[in-house]
Amino acid sequence: MSLPRTLGELRHSPFSEPKLQSRRVKDELRENLAAKLRGSGPIFPGIVGYDDTVVPQIINAILSRHNFILLGLRGQAKSRILRALATLLDPQMPYIAGCEIHDNPYAPICRRCRDQIAEHGDQTQIAYLTPEARYVEKLATPDVTIADLIGDIDPIKAARGGHELSSEMTVHYGLLPRANRGIFAINELPDLAGKIQVGLFNIMQEGDVQIKGYPIRLPLDVALVFSANPEDYTARGKIITPLKDRIGSEIRTHYPASVEEGIAITTQEAWTQRNGHKLHVPKYVQEVIERIAFAAREDKKVDKRSGVSQRLPISCMENVISNAERRAIHHDEKVVVPRIGDVYAAMPAITGKLELEYEGEMKGADHVGRELIRTAVAKTYDTYFKGTDMNQVVQWFDLGGEVQLPDTASAAEALQSLRGIQGLMEKLVKLNVGPKDTPETQVSAAEFVLEGLHAHKRIGRNEVRVFTAGEKLPKPAEKHFEREEAPFRGRRPFN
């Protein structure tokens, strides 16, 4: 069906229903959300782990026609959720063609559109906006001005049109009026200067604003949504009380509650579809990568106020695959299978995502990163091999056996060395890996077992990835005390 292109055609189309003529954007969001709730599909596709916590609160806020704010640490999908709100808007929204603030053809609020309808009547041209075009986002920074958000007087408009500076026709509209009849999102709200926040709540509540000292009535139809990191309130700024009072709902986001949820997010977001080689990422490698973030969020050496972003496992997964891909290209292997050694090689994707406390800074980011990987390997190893007798493998090393597994070694070369370790290959059945699997898969699984034993300090490993017998703790050294009195080095007192 072709869309009406003039006001006259619009009056004789489905867009002429009285309810649609006067419906405001929050009512539109509410009605479309209710229609989705009646169906069986997800409300916000691609948002994982919030079905029982955050999503119900967002649904309540929309049904209540609230402006709302998402509070949470970095990497908790706040911006993604806000952008997903556009899926609740109508597929097409008519407005008067050429209008900067997308005026409602049936109830225009700007002077230009009222004059145009008075002059052209039913021949007034109509244009349409898609849902994506009706979502406007602004990252708050301290240098944002009222002119950026609300608007300013444009002397060039006044000169060209012969208007007085106090005329509405001279206003250059900012981002908020341009989001009229849509959704306006501000990320990191506390970074916005207090006087700019005042301008926001004034237009939210009263619908008017002063530009360069001239009062201009702007009864905008906008759904306002915000995001903020609660720890930034004291570090960089705060949300002023009157604005906070006008935000209907405050919704707290969180990190994934389980490793499985984290894996689902990382699988969805990480770039894994590489051109060329076939890729197989073992489940235990996925778990190790995800547990690194979980371990970091609990580690005292990592700043909990800053948080550990979900981008850490995403970036780490991409680096791990790239390191395995580099090895496969070099040795002309047909399948890319990441190993635990590739996780250690992905250290640059880990250390850059961590804000360390004083103790962590003293030890260094690389040291903390290696500790986190070791902790993640140990916990993942326990999910597969807890209670499994590994004495035969450990004894092989205790009797002087050692094997080197650099992350650059080919699968064929590494597999030959690993098969010499007594009792190792038989244990891979717990990882659903057998002798019929590819050498790349067998090597990855066997190395995971050795890394797990090393993480539990049953065998040793040095920096060049040579696995050896476990380190024996030395006995405490005996202290020998001199019977002679140490010479007095200070100044003796006078008698």
User: What is the maximum span of the chain, computed from C-alpha positions, in angstroms?
Assistant: 117
Residue 2 lies in a domain: no
The length of the chain, given as a count of residues: 495
Same domain, 61 and 46: yes
- Domain boundary, last residue among 252, 277, 308: 252
- Do 227 and 358 lie in one domain? The reply is no
237 plus 299 within the same structural domain: no
- Alpha-helical (H) ranges within 193-257 are 194-205, 232-235, 241-246
User: Where does a domain end: 252, 275, 293?
Assistant: 252
pLDDT confidence of residue 200: 81
- Do residues 201 and 241 touch, judged by C-beta distance below 8 A? no
| Domain contains 165 | yes
Sole residue written with tokens 């405490």: 476
Q: Is the same domain home to 311 and 459?
A: yes
Q: Are residues 348 and 332 in the same domain?
A: yes
Write down the residue that tokens 């891909």 correspond to. Answer: 325
247 and 263: one domain?
Answer: no
Q: What is the CATH number for 195?
A: 3.40.50.300
CA 78 to chain centre: 7
3-state secondary structure of 481: coil
Q: Do 187 and 283 belong to one domain? A: no
Q: Are residues 60 and 200 in the same domain?
A: yes
Q: Are 177 and 274 in the same domain?
A: no
pLDDT for res 208: 61
Q: Can you list the positions of beta strands (E) in 100-167?
A: 126-129, 135-139, 151-153
Q: Is residue 28 part of a domain?
A: yes
pLDDT at 477: 46
Q: How many CA atoms lie within 13 A of 12 on its CB side?
A: 6
Domain that holds residue 156: 7-252
Q: Is residue 286 part of a domain?
A: yes
> What is the model's pLDDT at position 450?
97
At 440, phi and psi to the nearest 5?
A: -60, -40
Query: Within this chain, do residues 190 and 335 fall inside the same structural domain, yes or no?
Result: no
**Would you state the pLDDT for residue 207?**
61
Q: Pairing mode, if any, of strands 403-404 and 466-469?
A: antiparallel
Contact 279, 321 (CB under 8 A): yes
User: Cα(366)–Cα(347) distance, rounded to whole angstroms?
Assistant: 7
- Identify the pLDDT of residue 214: 65
**39-71: per-residue pLDDT in tens?**
888 899 989 999 999 999 999 999 999 999 999
219 and 291, same domain (yes or no): no
- 109 assigned to some structural domain: yes
Q: What is the pLDDT of residues 307-338, one digit of tens each?
A: 899 999 999 999 999 999 999 999 999 999 99
What pLDDT does 119 receive? 93
Residues 369 and 433 in one domain: yes
The token pair that represents 170 in the structure block: 């001279």
Q: Label the pairing between strands 403-404 and 278-279.
A: unpaired
Question: What does the H/E/C string look like for 251-278?
Answer: EECCCCCCHHHHHHHHHHHCCCCCCCCE
- The answer to whether residue 382 sits within a structural domain is yes
pTM: 0.86
Phi, psi angle pair for 71, to nearest 5°: -105, 125
Positions in the chain whose pLDDT score sits under 70: 1, 158-159, 164-168, 202, 206-216, 232-237, 471-495
Domain boundary among 252, 268, 283: 252
Does some domain include residue 477? Answer: no
> For 120-220, where are the E strands, in sequence order?
126-129, 135-139, 151-153, 171-173, 182-187, 208-211, 214-217
Query: Is 483 contained in some domain?
Result: no
CA–CA separation, 158 and 169 (whole Å): 7
pLDDT for the residue 58: 97
For residue 49, the model assigns a pLDDT of 93
Q: Any residues with CB less than 8 A from the CB of 73 and at least 6 apart, and which?
A: 229, 230, 231, 253, 255, 306, 307, 309
CA atoms of 376 and 284, how far apart (whole Å): 10
Structural domains of the chain, count:
2
